[in-house]
């Protein structure tokens, strides 16, 4: 189930080509988009395609609570820097988790394609271990492990937000297609447990094993 790439660049290029194909086939694609260090190469490659994004809609997976959208480490800023400022997406077609998220997304029958990263504890978006498989968009408390992992982006650990808004497990699972990408040897064990092990709420990504159209990519 896990496709292993020779290196990060090849995984990023291939993932970008699949997203580009999705947009080319359906110019009105509704995409679920991740942040983190892993998707940066994918975004870089995707921009190079020079696609028409004017009818594409984007739905980010998560955002921190308690920092402004203009904070350099907010996911709003991350997305501006890595994608939004480089393509002709319309402002009104860009979405982040809010009270209407599930109503909107379920209203059109789920996202067309969602790209995911994975945390060291198996979290997807900010659905930490223990998240219900039927969970929807909500505010969550981040685990100690996630706060530590994300502290590398902040000046000190005290500045790392302790809460976040995340798309729920159910909303993610309703995406018609999913691509999960993981980079680095430190991600192998959790990836292997999630996709070659048993399904468990304690490893949120493992729940995706039963998704009818998921691809899992790894670069070591």
Q: Give the interface with ligand GLP as residue ranges (CB under 6 A).
A: 34-38, 61-62, 117-119, 125-126, 146, 150
Place of tokens 């980010």: 60
Among 112, 128, 150, 183, which one carries the catalytic annotation? 128
Instruction: Tell me, yes or no, if 121 is annotated catalytic.
Output: yes
Residue from 57, 62, 63, 112 carrying the catalytic annotation: 62
| Between 50 and 131, CB nearer to ligand GLP | 131
Q: In the complex, what is the shortest distance from the CB of residue 97 to ligand GLP, in angstroms, rounded to a whole number?
A: 11
Return the closest-CA partner of residue 174 out of 133, 203, 128, 202.
Answer: 133
Shortest separation between residue 88's beta carbon and ligand GLP, angstroms: 25
What b/e sequence results for 130-158 when a residue is b if at least 16 CB atoms lie within 10 Å of its CB, and e otherwise? ebeeebbbbebebbeebeebbeeebeeee
Q: Is 95 a catalytic residue?
A: no
Least spacing, CB of residue 173 vs ligand GLP, in Å: 15
Q: Any catalytic annotation for residue 62? A: yes
CB of 54 to ligand GLP, least distance (A): 26
Q: List the catalytic residue out of 121, 145, 174, 193.
A: 121
In angstroms, the CA 111 to CA 199 distance is 23
d(CA 195, CA 210): 10
Q: Active site residue: 22, 82, 123, 183, which one? A: 123
**How big is the chain, counted in residues?**
220
Which residue, among 138, 139, 111, has the nearest Cα to 34 in the 3D structure? 111
- Residue 21 vs 186, nearer CB to ligand GLP: 186
Q: Which two tokens stand for residue 124?
A: 């997807």
- As annotated, the active-site residues are 62, 121, 123, 128
């Amino acid at each position: 189930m896990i496709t292993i790439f020779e290196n990060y660049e090849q995984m990023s290029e291939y993932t970008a080509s699949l997203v580009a194909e999705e947009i080319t086939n359906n110019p009105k694609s509704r995409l679920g988009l991740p942040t983190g260090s892993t998707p940066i190469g994918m975004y870089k490659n995707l921009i190079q395609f020079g696609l028409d994004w004017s009818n594409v809609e984007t739905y980010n997976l998560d955002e921190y609570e308690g920092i402004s959208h203009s904070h350099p480490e907010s996911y709003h800023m991350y997305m501006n820097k890595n994608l939004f400022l480089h393509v002709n997406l319309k402002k009104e077609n860009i979405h982040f988790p809010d009270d209407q998220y599930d109503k909107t997304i379920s209203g059109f029958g789920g996202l067309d394609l969602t790209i995911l990263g994975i945390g060291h504890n198996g979290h997807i978006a900010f659905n930490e271990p223990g998240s219900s498989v039927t969970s929807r968009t909500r505010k969550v408390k981040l685990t100690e492990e996630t706060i530590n992992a994300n502290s590398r982006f902040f000046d000190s650990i005290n500045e790392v937000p302790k809460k976040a808004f995340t798309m729920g497990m159910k909303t993610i699972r309703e995406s018609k297609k999913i691509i999960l990408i993981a980079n680095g040897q430190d991600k192998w064990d959790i990836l292997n447990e999630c996709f070659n092990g048993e399904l468990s709420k304690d490893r949120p990504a493992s729940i995706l094993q039963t998704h009818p159209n998921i691809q899992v990519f790894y670069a070591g």
